Amino acid sequence: MSRTSTEPAGPRRPVLVTGATGYIGGRLLARLAAEGRSVRAMARRPEYLSQRVPAGVEVVPGDVLEPGSLDAALAGAGTAFYLIHSMGDSRTFESLDRRGAAAFAEAARRAGVRRIVYLGGLGEPGDDLSAHLRSRQEVGAVLRGSGVEVLELRASIVIGAGSLSFEMVRALVERLPVMIIPRWVRTLAQPIAIDDVLRYLVAALDRPPGPSAVYEIGGADRVSYEGLMREYARQRGLRRWMFPVPVLTPTLSALWLGLVTPVFARIGRKLVDSLRNGTCVRDPAAARDFDVRPMGVREAIAAALDEEDREAAATRWSSAVSSAGPGRAQSQARFGSRIVDTRALDVAAPPAAAFAPIRRIGGRTGWYFADFLWKCRAALDLLLGGVGFRRGRPHAETLATGDPVDFWRVEAYEPGRRLRLQAEMKLPGRAWLEFEVEPRAGGGSRIHQSAIFDPLGLSGRLYWYALYPAHVLIFAGMLRRIAARAEAAARDGDGTAAVPAGARTVKGA
């Protein structure tokens, strides 16, 4: 495929991204910024978005339902991504979509925008399209009516960590061992991974100038929602039983989704109504004109799960901790299917001293609080065929990535700063225990502690919540004892010199 830019020689005109607070828009913004493109993001509330964009991204106010706000946002832009829809609005979303697209297209024409790239939805017009899919395709037609060149990419189900469809599949499979599935669950689609969607969107920037065009994009496989659920269950190691029924009205289906998934009932009703339409690629033009070779369903789901693992590992869960009194800076949050219990404590000790008790955890040192309960859990693990506490740890003072620590293993280790342990005891899910130490501006350190649990189905959730009171007791006590040991280490000269003792506070990061 030709990589000829649509831009003339001279200063590069910025790329405008609308819908930058949404799932795809936010990811596209980061991708474009990482490539060194000149990027401008439009938002109804720029003060909210400006705190979340990469460095160098210009944030401007704009609302497609307020035409007067668009001229300044589009001024000087070369290409504009239109990633807006009104499906979540309780009003008549079709009329809102048409109004917004018409206003944006006219403003783009006045501003001299060379190309609009629009992400729409697959579906054959002759297939009695749902209101949602019909509206997505009408938006493309409205944009093209302005005379500005429009590249419309029509996609099916988008699979990625945090996408609406993926979260719906996850919630159904994780929470329901037995499912009664309506007819729409077996409608064929051509799911596409979020990374492949982004590749198409970025590639659309570099298409040579030409007439407006519609491209159908999809993954390598054609599969139903039932197939997606079965593949997700296979990769998660879950046994699920699905029993088809001939009917389940869209209204009842939407209410059902609202009860067991993150989908709001009104969005669920529109989503279910769309699932009666097949969304498979029929026109192969995208494969001919774009150098993108999409992955299949198995790879897309694996990539989504892998991304969640990496995000869970990279995210400081204690950033959610709010200000509180001593010993009470604790929060429980969710990331995908994971449950995160996090807390933080400030100590009058430099980071090296604050980390000293953390690097010694486990083995002969023990777990600092309620060791009897830890030993009981280890004994239970042995009875279940696990490793218990038999392994201890290789060295009392030092750690390295891959070292066993009782029934944990070191997954990440940064001396003086961070330790993450992954559980190897018998569990209905996966678990991590993470510590992180950071210096405070006024002296001393803040110790972050996060217990992360990825439950396996309903049994995993029951396990977590049944033991939650014990977890609160154990982890809070552990952090207090670690803080006390850290301050003692500072006084004894274990690490750098101690900072002057002062009022110890517990705050959110």
pLDDT in tens, 58-81: 999 999 999 999 999 999 999 999
| Residue that wins the pLDDT comparison between 354 and 339 | 354
Confidence of residue 497 (pLDDT cuts 50, 70, 90): very low
pLDDT of residue 325: 37
pLDDT of residue 60: 93
For residues 242-267, give the mean pLDDT: 60
Domain presence at residue 259: no
Domain presence at residue 118: no
Using alpha carbons, select from 76, 48, 43 the residue that is nearest to residue 60: 43
Domain presence at residue 62: no
Domain harbouring 480, CATH code: 3.30.530.20
pLDDT of residue 58: 93
For residues 159-171, give the mean pLDDT: 84
The Cα–Cα gap between 437 and 444 comes to: 10
Q: Indicate the number of domains in the chain.
A: 1
Domain presence at residue 430: yes
- Per-residue tokens: 358: 């953390």
Residue 320: give the domain boundaries. Answer: 315-491
Domain presence at residue 78: no
Domain presence at residue 355: yes
pLDDT digits (tens, 9 = 90+) for 91-150: 577 888 899 999 999 999 999 999 999 999 888 776 677 777 888 889 999 999 989 999
pLDDT of residue 322: 33
- Average pLDDT of the chain to the nearest whole number: 82
Domain presence at residue 337: yes
pLDDT of residue 288: 93
- Give me the DSSP letters along 270-311: HHHHHTTS-B----THHHHHS------HHHHHHHHHHHHHHH
Residue 133, CA atoms < 13 Å, CB-side half-sphere: 23
Asked whether the whole model's pTM tops 0.75, one would answer no
Residue 289, CA atoms < 13 Å, CB-side half-sphere: 21
Domain presence at residue 207: no
